[in-house]
Chains A and B, each alone.
Chain A
């Protein structure tokens, strides 16, 4: 279509002009490209070489460990640290000499640090001193810019604000050793192994060595990230990129069921004694206190404990502070086991609870004589009286009547001979012996005489304080199944044995009545410990003494050695199991006072005081980790 004006000609002319213009601009851009890439190439090449972006590994913040009310048991603390980086200096000894003018570093340690730095990857900082004082930190910070290779920074350190109170439960973290690295990279391929090694070699990185810190490592650890730093040719950091995609992901907090205040009270109550105590919430199985004393301070381990300090802890075999007595310690249950024996006999029908057995103070079986703790004898006692007076002869007799297999079956139903999985490191199963066990362990058949010893909780039967607490909780709950737990919110412990062993409620009511008798009726062995000092509610319990040594006939004749007359290590352990309040049980407790001799004298008062404190605190107040869930439920309920 051609109009009045010669449009084609105009359009074509203009289009060619525009094309020419566009081409010229393209040409100009190519010329600029030439200028940058060819003419100024050298300048930019140098600039590119000087540019360096460094990705520094950033370890994740470890999750905290909190008690049931959210009180921190394991948290973080900022601490100044000075380290040297080999790749940033070419005069390592000179740097070390300069540094030692400001910090007290022994010549041996200086040599050691230099050789450490030379052995490690050149970019890997070697810590000279962590936990710098404020003065040292500020002085060295001022110095750092003028000393290449010197790195002064604040770092986050694991701290245990409650010190030794939770040493065995929490365990501790430490720098990963070769063994730790091996364990942490189990089942990983070569690349993942290298990543694990790289992460755990970071000076801020720690790994759990024992306790929850170790068993919940994956939950607590979080994910490592990077700090993206721009550096110039000299390696100095020019700026830090803020890159949220690279930031480390912190680990998750973990709630324990324990009550930090109750735990502290219990430990203080033990004083200088060594021993263990376990307080259980009967309804939920929550462990409220898990005491093993004396303990160590896990803070000492975070930055590496000196071998001398460690030796002190390790070599104290008498008080064994490294040992988790409540979970790893096994003790003959002594007379606290008598409820198990009585329950087994009743269920097996070998005795009527009203049948009286005469106790002359000793029991003859075969060619041997077994003794009652009461030399003069209890006289004629039925089951109730035998339990509250803890008559040994009565239990020799009923144990003999039912035999070891019946007795051992009942023991296993109470949880003896079985390790309770709590999601902690350690934990022992103890021993609930029978014929098969003895043949396997000793290669000998079971002798009937041994059954008598088991009948009073001595001999080969061995139990942990945790097992004893569960036992008394199950009696108090009249046979209900109770599974103890200590992780409130955290990784679920994987127990492959579902514990399912019901107990007869009527029989348990008898046991409860007897335990009440022990503390509250004439003839009870722990009458002084029944009153909780809270007005109404009383404590119901059972004393026990766990023999450490065999008593010879000669010694028995001249009088059994006790107290000052015998070395502490040979004295008996004092035991007490209990629940309270007697009429509506809420808490169960077990206490072992090592070498405390008498259950009623040494263990029962401790148990009573801890129990009274538990009642005062009323730890059943909703725990923090439930509260969040409950609030959510409440909101949805309100919306309905």
Chain B
């Protein structure tokens, strides 16, 4: 182990830090910066009527500055280090999740936080990155031990289900879904048989009633009810749960092709929409800039995710491929679920829009994911056949 450490630091110093920096996927990083700046601009519009929220755009920019630092540092970390860290970090996060169960404190109605020294952290957010790492390391190492078949995926499923169960208990339905979605995507990439996928799909649909009645909490059930009601066009009680989604639809729909103009959105400026600077930030964009710009922002996201996926496809090692693809899937899940939620297509589950929503946690998770993608880019030629 000691010798490999020295080898890797040698490896690191062989190519200077500047060369490494220059080799980062700068096109991708610049697009990410552009997306964050769009976020600052929309936040300015969303918050400027309320003096109590006056500092939010600046803080958003500051947070992005920090996140960018995290991204670059994480990107420059040699891929080998990521690989070694995969299992320890997964286990550590799991321990933290158990700690939340026993010692955690409550924030925003759910028990998600645990105190480490002076800072409160949300282990469930770490898990999004460390699960990706663990699954990537798992498939990287075990690929040749199985001659194909279904059995290889069972431990992977366990890796997902263990933290997912703990997070579901907090309760945090959004993150649970996110873990299953991005982890499931990695299992899919690892070649899970189609007939198994079909079977799971059928089983999932069949279990919806059971989940609805026995697993969901009351407030989660209400959200689903509201969602179904507004989707089927029933008159929702606009005073209660349906209010937010109804107001969001009015804001988006009244935007038209080109929107009402920057800081001119009546819905947004009059504070109709709760959470409009966090989860519902897209409503401000849609109302003030209209369909063209909003779909443009979505397309920009597709480009960013596409670039990330391209890195995954070009990497030599299975670890790099799975890690980068898993990171892309994690961010993609955020975006797709958030947009679908704001557009009234899925129930309101608190999922923010990366780089656009105001919020520190999602910013750092996003930075971690893209940092991992950058590391996979820099280490794309490394075979990583350690101990295999």
Binding site for B on A (CB under 8 A): 1, 3-5, 7, 10-12, 14-15, 18-19, 22-23, 25-26, 29-30, 32-34, 36-38, 40-41, 43-45, 47-49, 51-53, 228, 238-239, 245
Contacts and interface: CB of A to CB of B under 8 A. Distances in A.
B143 A37 contact: no
B250 A37 contact: no
Contacts of A228: 271
Interface in B179-194: 185, 188-191
B253 A43 contact: yes
B317 A18 contact: no
15 contacts: A10-B191, A11-B321, A18-B188, A18-B329, A25-B340, A26-B299, A29-B345, A33-B298, A36-B286, A37-B255, A40-B253, A41-B254, A41-B256, A51-B250, A53-B270
A1 B252 contact: no
Given A1-B317, A33-B291, A48 B298 contact: no
Contact of B189 (A14, A37, A49): A14
B254 A18 contact: no
Nearest 3 interchain pairs by C-beta: A44-B253, A48-B254, A37-B291
B377 to A, nearest CB: 16
B298 A38 contact: no
B302 A47 contact: no
Nearest to B51: A245
Nearest to B185: A18
B52 A239 contact: no
A239 B237 CA distance: 13
Given A19-B306, A22-B305, A22-B336, A239 B250 contact: no
Contacts of B190: 11, 14
A32 B188 contact: no
A41 B301 CA distance: 25
A44 B254 contact: yes
- Which secondary structure dominates chain B's binding surface? helix
Given A36-B253, A48-B267, A51-B267, 15 more contacts: A1-B384, A10-B191, A12-B313, A18-B185, A25-B336, A29-B343, A29-B345, A30-B298, A33-B295, A37-B253, A37-B256, A45-B254, A47-B253, A47-B254, A49-B266
Nearest to B274: A241
A163 to B, nearest CB: 43
A33 B286 CA distance: 9
Contacts of A25: 336, 340
Contacts, number: 128
Contacts of A40: 253
Given A19-B309, A32-B345, A14 B321 contact: no
Given A26-B302, A29-B343, A47-B254, A36 B249 contact: yes
B343 A1 contact: no
B120 interface: no
Nearest to B251: A48
B385 interface: yes
Contacts of A29: 298, 336, 339-340, 343, 345
Contact of A36 (B143, B147, B191, B343): B343
B316 interface: yes
B356 interface: no
B257 A37 contact: yes
Nearest to A22: B332
A552 B291 CA distance: 101
A258 B207 CA distance: 75
Nearest to A8: B321
Contacts of B88: none
B116 interface: no
Contacts of A11: 189-191, 313, 318, 321
B16 interface: no
Interface string B316-327: 111001000100
B291 A53 contact: no
B388 interface: yes
Contacts of B295: 30, 33-34
B169 to A, nearest CB: 29
